[in-house]
Amino acid sequence: MRVAVLGAGAWGTTVAAVLTHHADVGLWCRRPELAEEIATTGENSRYLPGIPLSPRITPSPDVRTVLRGVSLVVLAVPLQQLRSHLAQWSPVVPDVPVVNLAKGVETATGQFGTEVVQDVLRDRLVLALSGPNLAAEIARGQPAATVVAGEDEGVTRRVAAAFTTPQFHAHAVTDVVGVDVAGAFKNVVALAVGMVEGAGLGANARAAVLTLGLSEMAALGGRLGARPETFLGLAGAGDLVATSTSTLSRNHRVGVALGEGLALADAVGRAGGTAEGVATAPALLRRDADLPFVRDVVAVLAGERSPVDAVSRLLSST
């Protein structure tokens, strides 16, 4: 089996490493120097320093080389860049299942990750992978679980099996909409929970904000046709807790910095990397205006309300 992973950030590289348990993996690197480093040292020192990578990973900056002869394609680029990359890649993407890792809502269209992929790769079967999956822990071999969501149950089971290892357990589900909603919304909740922590508002407020976020996530999912049980599972509550409480989460770190009083640009800079919740929150609100939790987070991001005031409003909304 040969798999292509397009994107060599922390999560893309980690997923490539997971897939080497069952497959040879071609890893597309945007920067040729990163491909050269991985090929010569067996390490991605920028995103996964100190983590040795399997020789079954073949890095390349040439997407055609990476896609040649594969039976599965994994997309590991940030959601706001997904459409532009796919527009370039679509002529050479083979007719095989495509797994999207990006979580969020596209700013320009209000579409979730799998919707963006389906919009560009119209004739491909598109699946989503999501769960409490902090890349650094998985790369170190610590145990984790995730879901692979796809409308074709048989194909989804086979794809989930390709991701499953003794340490990383992938479970097949069919609620693609619910997994997309949960993956996007949890980043917004992580910002809010981080604000609580940064402002020193305590464990009670943190638990209340997390719970209110989960409730609004499930309500939005219900309006879009998702299954309620998805939001109590790995892609819902599981990913929400991990992203909202771990210092490994960039969205959480941005929220903490905002709670401490930093401006948004400074908070993002301190957190490092892409915090999808910053773009996702206003995009979610444009898609569905009946999201008071998201509205208060957007007000903080826009500098219209302090984190303390926003948290107070969130708690009073119960």
- The catalytic residues are 186
Task: Tell me the C-alpha distance between 301 and 9, whole Å.
Answer: 25
* DSSP, res 142: -
Task: Tell me the C-alpha distance between 149 and 36, whole Å.
Answer: 33
**Is-contact 263 257, C-beta < 8 A?**
no
Residue 99: HSE in the Cβ half-sphere, 13 Å Cα cutoff: 30
* DSSP, res 105: B
**Is-contact 6 38, C-beta < 8 A?**
no
Calculate the alpha carbon distances from 140 to 50, 131, 241, 283 in Å. Answer: 9, 17, 20, 34
What are the φ/ψ torsions at residue 112 (nearest 5 degrees)?
-75, 170
Which amino acid would we find at residue 148?
Answer: V
Pairing state of beta strands 126-130 and 144-149? antiparallel
A 10 A CB-CB count for 263 gives 11
Task: Tell me the C-alpha distance between 71 and 50, whole Å.
Answer: 30
Strand, helix or coil for residue 235: helix
